[in-house]
Structure 1
């Protein structure tokens, strides 16, 4: 993934980019899941992470051939809120 960790405020979102190697891999599909949808959600194919509530979770990316990458996500309260 293009990040090693992610911190967002409630209501913010960011999109993850996964790079599958080798470049000529037959299937470059990556499926994203959230360890806790109550803290942060993620779209399975696009990798758009949305902060839902204060807390911590992991976003997991799994390639078509079973390689798993985990990204720690921290969600904070909005600044000044």
Structure 2
């Protein structure tokens, strides 16, 4: 991603018929990348690397997306 860009992550809970499909997104470093807790919309804030983690509400299962942020074009 480049500074200023956004992307939305999608988490799929398995099995698909699990009673609780609720997940929460979090970031390892909000100075580099922010994420909305429910929607999973990631915004690149500054150059660097961050991990976006999604955690299931029921069972505490996690998955991680590693994000590398580079300078915006023309910067």
Distance in structure 1 (CA, Å) of the matches to 2:24 and 2:72? 29
Distance in structure 2 (CA, Å) of the matches to 1:44 and 1:35? 13
Aligned length: 74
Secondary structure of residue in 2 paired with 1:9: coil
Backbone CA RMSD of aligned residues: 0.6
The aligned runs of 1:13-32 (5 Å cut-off) are 13-32=6-25
Tell me which residue corresponds to 2:37: 44
Q: TM-score, normalised by structure 2?
A: 0.95
What 5-or-longer segments of structure 1 have no aligned partner?
1-7
Among residues 61, 72, 75, which one is paired with 1:78 in the alignment?
Answer: 72
Cα deviation, residue 80, structure 1: 2.5
Tell me which residue corresponds to 1:61: 54
Tell me which residue corresponds to 1:12: 5
- Residues 30-66 of structure 1, C-alpha deviation per residue, up to 9 Å, x if partnerless? 1000000000000000000000000001000001221
Secondary structure of residue in 1 paired with 2:25: strand
Q: TM-score, normalised by structure 1?
A: 0.88
